[in-house]
Amino acid sequence: MKVPLPKRSCSPSWMPTSKRLASLGSAVFARVDAAKHAYRVQASSSARPDLVDLSIGSSDLRPPTALLETMASAVMDPSSGSYCLQTGLRPLHAAVADWCRHRFDVVVDPEQEVQFLVGSQEGTAHLPLAVLDAGDAALHLDPCYPSHTGGLHLAAARTKALPLSPEQDWRPDLTGLTSSLWDQLKLFVLGYPHNPSARVGDQEDLNQIMATGARHDVVIAHDNPYVDLALDGQPPCLLHAPNWRASGIEFFSLSKGWCLGGFRLGFAVGAAPVIAALRRTKAVIDFNQSLALQQGAIQALQAFPDWPQQLHPIYRERRDRVVETLTARGWSVPCPEMAMYLWFPLPAAARRQGWSDEDAARELLQRSGVALTPGSGFGAGGRQWLRMALVRPVNELVEAASRLADAMDD
């Protein structure tokens, strides 16, 4: 006798999703992207100004021309279409080791302490799967880049937030991290220079975190894609912490400093056991990045290691001009220490109307055509703040800032 299968609803609302997926909520960049698309559709049939997208840190600046030429040439090699397994990464890993010696004066083992990533975001997303069991405790900053918490939720971690605040200059208050709390943790994910606050951070904080993590067998994961884009101060680096080989891992990217965001080129450097765990996880998820694109990454690290420093004057002018423009219109805009972003509280007019940061981002887009990112998308600690990416030429940014201010004056 056949047992009938239970009927499933044909309703469009039914979908076989996991509880882990539900814990992710709605991704902020996906929400903003939908709002931008809706604005473009409306603007195409009306007199609204063109969209100025300052919601995401996708640089408008060009990478070195030689990198693009190298990758274009390599694409024509039939072998570039092959899958790239671990042994195929050896030339890139050797280039990373050379870069670490040049950039940080740190010697690393390219075979055991380096791992290529399809963008550094792959590291923050997949590392929790490699080092956590369901229910393990993990600590993250609040606010933080969304993939930091996203990876923890997908690993079914028990997450704990370390609040940051403007009163503390967005630095972590480590005094509240008791020994008993450290004993509960398996992983601590953080990143300085910090996104979204654009504060550079402090090496002593990172040294203390790494030393304590080593004593308590906690993996310390430091996301460092902006290490070469500090305009003020000295950016911290986990590889400068004396204990990093105990249980540390640091993620780097070519997206920001070399303007290669869409090419998805990143890498991790860390303790051999942590790298090995991440490598095993990657082996069942992806076959790495195109060999042709890897040639560009190798050339970036070897031939253009100082390229990011050439961007500093451009970002410094953008930062100073936009801060000056908004401040002159009565907005409170702290001067960021790191290139690419402004991070500021809602303007007074928005607060008087009782808007949330989501309300403000939506209304400013509709009124001015300028897309910003609501701060709550980076966590509860970002509520009532907005992030602006400085990813357009300076004159366009100044015009966008004026449009934003005009929109709040209406």
pLDDT for 110-127, tens place per residue? 999 999 999 888 999 999
Does residue 276 sit in the same domain as residue 369?
no
For residues 296 and 87, which has the higher predicted lDDT (pLDDT)? 296
Domain count, the chain: 2
| pLDDT at residue 7 greater than cutoff 70 | no
Give the tokens for residue 26: 């709605």
On whether residue 7 sits in a domain, the answer given is no
Strand, coil or helix: 119:
coil
The mean pLDDT value for 231-258 works out to 97
Higher pLDDT, 70 or 47: 70
pLDDT higher than 90, residue 237: yes
CB 105 within 8 A of CB 87: no
Please say whether the beta carbons of 393 and 60 come within 8 A. yes
State the average pLDDT over residues 357-376. Answer: 97
Mean pLDDT score across all residues of the chain: 93
Q: Is residue 286 part of a domain?
A: yes
Residues 194 and 280 in one domain: yes
Whether 118 is covered by a domain: the verdict is yes
Q: Which two tokens stand for residue 138?
A: 């993990």
Q: Report, as an integer, the average pLDDT of 128-142.
A: 97
CA–chain centroid gap for 103, Å, is 21
Flag whether pLDDT at 161 surpasses 60: yes
* Cα 19 to Cα 23: distance, rounded to the nearest angstrom: 6
Using 50, 70 and 90 to split pLDDT, how confident is the model at 15?
Answer: low
Exposure on the CB side of residue 348, measured as CA atoms within 13 A: 7
Q: 164 with 139, same domain?
A: yes
The per-residue pLDDT for range 176-195, each reduced to its tens digit, is 999 999 999 999 999 999 99
Q: What is the mean pLDDT of residues 146-155?
A: 94
One-letter amino acid for residue 70 of the chain: T
- The predicted pLDDT at position 8 comes to 53
Strand order in the sheet with 219-223: 114-117, 266-270, 248-253, 219-223, 185-190, 137-142, 158-163
Q: Is the pLDDT of residue 10 over 80?
A: no
Which of 292, 308, 324 delimits the end of a domain? 308
Nearest to 252 by CA among 141, 150, 64, 124: 124
pLDDT value for 5: 52
pLDDT over threshold 90, residue 289: no
**Domain stop point among 263, 282, 308:** 308
- Give the model's pLDDT for residue 47: 83
Residue whose pair of structure tokens reads 């918490």 in the numeric block: 149
Residue 389: HSE in the Cβ half-sphere, 13 Å Cα cutoff: 19
Q: How far apart are CA 33 and CA 262, in angstroms?
A: 16
Strands 158-163 and 114-117: unpaired
**Residue 239, domain extent:** 80-308
The domain boundary, picked from 308, 326, 341, lies at 308
State how far the Cα of 287 lies from the Cα of 85, in Å rounded to an integer. Answer: 6
Give CA–CA dist 152/278, Å, rounded. 14
* pTM assigned to the model: 0.93
- Residue 72 tokens, joined: 């274009």
**268 and 385 belong to one structural domain:** no
Whether residue 378 sits in one domain with residue 242: no
Do 371 and 272 belong to one domain? Answer: no
Percentage, residues of the chain above pLDDT 90: 82
pLDDT in tens, 22-67: 777 778 999 999 999 999 998 888 888 999 999 999 999 999 999 9
> In the predicted model, is pLDDT for residue 257 greater than 90?
yes
Report cis status (omega within 30 of 0) of the bond before 313. Answer: no
Asked whether residue 333 falls in the same domain as residue 299, the answer is no
Is residue 401 a part of any domain in this protein?
Answer: yes
Q: Say if residue 80's pLDDT is above 80.
A: no
φ and ψ at residue 270, rounded to 5 degrees: -175, -175
